[in-house]
């Protein structure tokens, strides 16, 4: 009879799992932000016409890490996000970040969501309908039960150069410009409000669908409303300053010049509470 014992692999029930992350750091230095990037998340955002719309967000989550901890627990970010399925608003976002601070025993938590937002637009002459997508973002910084909530949009517009138009016997150079807005606010601020302010600041909005009659309309209306990049950023800043919910903003415009080997840009940042 063979009495030789057969070796068995230890199980998690019999082996103590060492928490390496909570161990002592070899370099005792605090880390401002540590976390995970580019998680994918189905998202429900508010829509002024339909009430809400479904989209997909790329998500970055992070916390501060004290000097005495070797590392953070990355899986807990995913667990917090997995349990969060609310409509995106100030209250739900604050609950998400509060949950992250509790799970990771952190003082501060950060989150950034980047997502496309869609509006059905009508062509200016033919009335043809099409969907326009806008790159939007939401950034949250949470500490001591307070949330700094920043909403962002990127909006393409068309600009016609006033100088080129003034000095040319025929035509003028025109190009696409990208208007970027970050805004903090009280109450409810619609993404549509920010998009409309940006589109109204250029020589013309940009459309997904244009028939020949629409192209004629856009071209003629844009040339009747030439704008430098400085004109555009000032118009955006004025619209944001006059919005009753906006408390702080950063407006920037990048003109992707059609006849220059560079872009032109302008920025205005204002704190409307001071």
Taking the alpha carbons at both ends of the chain, their separation in whole angstroms is: 90
Residue 175 banded pLDDT, cuts 50, 70, 90: very high
pLDDT at 16: 65
Q: Quick: pLDDT tens for 14-54.
A: 556 554 455 555 576 889 999 999 999 999 999 999 999 99
90-103 vs 74-82: helix axis angle to the nearest 10?
150
Contact 191, 133 (CB under 8 A): no
Q: List beta partners, residue 182.
A: 152, 250
Burial of 183 (0-12, 13-18, 19+ CB in 10 A): buried
pTM for this structure?
0.87
pLDDT at 73: 83
List phi, psi (to 5°) of 69.
-95, 135
Q: Which domains are assigned to the chain?
A: 30-271 (3.10.270.10)
Q: Quick: pLDDT tens for 107-138.
A: 999 999 999 999 999 999 999 999 999 999 99
DSSP letter for each residue of 19-42: -GGGSBPSS---EEEEEEEEEEEE
């Amino acid at each position: 009879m063979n009495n030789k014992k057969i070796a068995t692999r230890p199980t998690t029930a019999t082996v103590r799992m060492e928490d390496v992350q909570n161990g002592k750091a070899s370099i005792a230095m605090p880390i401002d932000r540590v976390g995970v990037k580019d998680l994918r998340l189905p998202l429900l955002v508010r829509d002024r016409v339909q009430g809400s719309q479904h989209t997909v967000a790329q998500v970055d989550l992070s916390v501060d890490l004290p000097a005495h901890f070797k590392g953070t627990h990355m899986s807990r970010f995913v667990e917090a996000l997995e349990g969060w399925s609310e409509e995106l608003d100030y209250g739900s976002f604050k609950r998400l970040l509060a949950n992250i601070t509790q799970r990771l025993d952190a003082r501060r938590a950060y989150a950034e969501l980047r997502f496309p937002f869609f509006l059905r637009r009508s062509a200016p002459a033919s009335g043809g309908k099409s969907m326009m997508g806008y790159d939007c973002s939401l950034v949250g910084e949470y500490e001591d039960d307070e949330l700094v909530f920043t909403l962002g949009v990127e909006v393409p517009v068309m600009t016609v150069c006033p100088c080129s138009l003034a000095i040319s016997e025929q035509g003028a150079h025109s190009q696409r410009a990208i208007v970027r807005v970050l805004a903090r606010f009280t109450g409810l601020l619609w993404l549509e409000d920010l998009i409309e302010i940006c589109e109204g600041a250029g020589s013309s909005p940009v459309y997904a669908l244009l028939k020949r009659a629409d192209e004629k309309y856009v071209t003629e209306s844009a040339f009747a409303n030439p704008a430098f990049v400085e004109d555009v950023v000032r118009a955006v800043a004025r619209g944001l300053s006059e919005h009753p919910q906006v408390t702080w903003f950063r407006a920037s415009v990048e003109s992707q010049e059609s006849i220059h080997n560079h872009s032109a840009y302008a920025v205005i940042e204002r704190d409307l509470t001071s």
